[in-house]
Homo-oligomer: A and B are copies of this chain.
Amino acid sequence: MALEHAILVSLLEQPGSGYELARRFERSIGYFWTATHQQIYRVLGRMEGDGWIDVRHVPQEARPDKKEYSVAAAGRAALSAWLHEPIQPDSVRHELAVKIRGAAFDDPAALIREVERHHGAHTDRLTRYLAGELRDFTGPDAPAPGDTGRELQHVVLRGGIAYERMTLAWLEDVLATLRRLAER
């Protein structure tokens, strides 16, 4: 039950529409939580019903009108309560790892392409994260000392970067292993 809370955090950082939230989940929030627009609209409806968020109808020209959501007092309270509850460490889901172990019962060499493809996708992600870090957290845009929000955003981004780097190194290990096995 954390999509609600991820949305609350995002709306506290910056109010916005369901569409805008969906875009943020593709970008910055995407490196620690994912959600599609269908999920977001559903949850926004529930959160509005529960009084966690307020809506403001924003008419626009040359674009469809939008509903801008912002966090209400009850939402802030719900977030605060959740922050003080312990959660259990997340467990991983690596579909690719299932495939790698499954390859023992099929042709390991056939997996090489797939692993290379994943390596490419993770390289792209890492590149985007690093570009974001350079843009938002270095030079004149570095967070001022005491800018808690920005500092915390940065440490989470560093987590995303560390994850992608570790994944790339592991995929290279996997490729070397698969190639060694394919040679015989």
User: How would residues 128 to 158 of chain A score, 1 for a CB under 8 Å from any chain B CB and 0 otherwise?
Assistant: 0000000000000000011011011101101
Give the CA-CA distance A179 to B88 in the complex, in Å: 22
Q: How many copies does the complex hold?
A: 2
Give the CA-CA distance A156 to B171 in the complex, in Å: 10
Asked if B156 contacts A86 (CB within 8 A), the reply is no
Give the CA-CA distance A106 to B77 in the complex, in Å: 10
Give the CA-CA distance A6 to B101 in the complex, in Å: 9
Asked if A103 contacts B83 (CB within 8 A), the reply is yes
Interface band, chain A: 35 or more
Can you give 30 contacting A-B residue pairs, CB < 8 Å? A2-B93, A2-B95, A6-B98, A32-B92, A33-B92, A33-B98, A79-B106, A80-B106, A82-B99, A83-B102, A83-B103, A83-B111, A86-B117, A87-B99, A89-B118, A89-B121, A90-B93, A97-B159, A100-B155, A100-B156, A101-B152, A101-B153, A103-B152, A151-B180, A151-B181, A152-B177, A152-B181, A155-B173, A159-B174, A166-B166
